[in-house]
Amino acid sequence: MRALLLVLLALASGRPTANAHAADTAGWLFQPDVVVQIRLGLSEESLAALAADPTEYVPATFALSYEDRRFGPSPVSLKLKGGLGSFRDMQGKAAFKLKFPAGSRPDGLKKMTLNNMVQDPSKVREAVAYELFRAVGVAAPRTGYAEVFVNDEPYGLYLDVETLDDVALPRWYATTRHLYEGSYGHLTNPLDPFDDHYEVDEGDDDDREDLAVLLATAVVLSGGWYARMSAVADLDQMTRMWAAEAYLGHWDGYASWNTNNYYLHADGDGRFTMLPWGTDQTLVARTAFYENSPQHVLFNGCVADPICGALYGDALVAVTATAKRLRLDHRARRIQRDLRTLIDADPKLEHSPEAARVALASTIAFARERRRDVDAWSTLQPPSPRAVAVRGGAGNISVRWRAATKRASSVVAAYAVDSRAAGEPWTRRLVAPSARALVLTDLVPAIHEVRVRALAGPSASPATSGTTVAVTP
């Protein structure tokens, strides 16, 4: 019930949701139980060009088949992809990015990303991780699988990762001004919107005023950070993004020591959300839920702010509940079971087939142990208030609660009553630890959300007592 409530409240706050009007003719490709066959053709000239510069697109041909579906052969542009640890040339298990010309696009796709999964012996981590992100309302790519041939030579099993472009983004966003990719190893000045770290994938490369405003707002850590940032960032969405990264142990993501593998999306109003990428090394390392780095200007500001920091704690609880419902361990096992024949037969496999089984066992163990990590974290937070009663009236809300359950490890220093009209930022009112009621006055007529938290120093209890109420004129 609580997980459902959090989802409903997030929907009311205006987070990105799937756009029912966006065409999705290629959706069938992005199912983990679908393995298509892809044949790529490269001339000697194209192979030579890739050897000289693998980052430049070269001419190629593309054909795809799955059961009774056929596409191509047709022209395509191709380049190699991958960074430190994952890049392979054509002699190894190269990964590919493809661009389809107008008139030759399989079910409307403009781009295709084929990951070699060389850093994931289990072959399931990206698929499982992105499912969790999407389940908590974070825009994340879908995945399928492909058996790839290059000039009729078998290259083995690949992950077909949905490319986040102007075909995929409308499923989540009504408008897009920019999509910035946080690239690996280039971040020199996190406050410079033209730093090489911020690559423009969608939108005007020269006009980055929206990103400049976001970064300049985030770096000012004085009181009122949450209220200022809410005008330029959907912090409900971002906290779920960071919580999912933390839960999955995404040490190579944004809110980790590496500051890598993420996207920043600005809608038509210049308001930002964050999207994940490069999750092939998740579900392995049980990283801390807070990683401090001067490069994390958004995350640092959030956890330092009382309201945003509490939202992040809520998000960790919600992500954990969603992961439990999805049964990530069972999901990983089922996907690999369906792929096992292709894994065993992969001619470019860089590890033994047995290593895939060992990696799966490690992933399953992680999924089970991670819930215990959150439980251990939760015992360090103040206990939540009980039996919250909320009544809406003419321009006011009456809130009553019982004291939090006593725990020796947490002493309640104050109670915080957070409220907002649907779609607006939260407003906080602090009361003494002896208080058990508060009347919120001068409110606009609307449906309001109310949460009561116990505070103990900088820590806040997860808002298990959230509810909604109507305020009348």
Report the CATH number that the domain containing residue 433 is assigned in CATH. Answer: 2.60.40.10
The secondary structure of the chain in percent helix, strand, coil, rounded to multiples of 5, reads: 30, 25, 40
- β-bridge mates for residue 471, sequence order: 446
Domain boundary among 144, 161, 178: 161
**Residue 248: inside a domain:** no
**Which of 143, 161, 179 represents a domain boundary (last residue)?**
161
80 in any annotated domain? yes
On whether residue 151 sits in a domain, the answer given is yes
Which among 96, 126, 161 is the end of a domain? 161
Give the residue among 254, 263, 245 at the shortest CA–CA distance from 323: 245
Whether residue 406 contacts residue 383, with contact meaning beta carbons closer than 8 Å, is answered with yes
Tell me the residue range of the domain where 435 lies: 386-471
Q: Would you say residue 95 lies in a domain?
A: yes
91 CB-near residues (< 8 Å, 6+ apart): none
Q: What is the count of structural domains for the chain?
A: 2
Question: Counting beta carbons within 10 angstroms of the beta carbon of residue 66, is it exposed (0 to 12), middle (13 to 18) or buried (19 or more)?
Answer: middle
Report the candidate in 126, 124, 112, 93 with the shortest Cα–Cα distance to residue 253: 126
Per-residue pLDDT of the chain (473 residues; tens, 9 = 90+): 333 333 333 333 334 455 544 678 999 999 999 999 999 999 999 999 999 999 999 999 999 999 999 999 999 999 999 888 899 999 999 999 999 999 899 999 999 999 999 999 999 999 999 999 999 999 999 999 999 999 999 999 999 999 999 999 999 999 999 999 998 767 889 999 999 999 999 999 999 999 999 999 999 999 999 999 999 999 999 999 999 999 999 998 998 777 889 999 999 999 999 999 999 999 999 998 987 778 889 999 999 999 999 999 999 999 999 999 999 999 999 999 999 999 999 999 999 999 999 999 999 999 989 989 998 988 888 888 887 899 998 999 999 999 877 654 568 899 999 999 988 999 999 999 999 999 999 999 999 999 999 998 778 888 766 688 888 86
Distance CA 415, CA 281 (A): 40
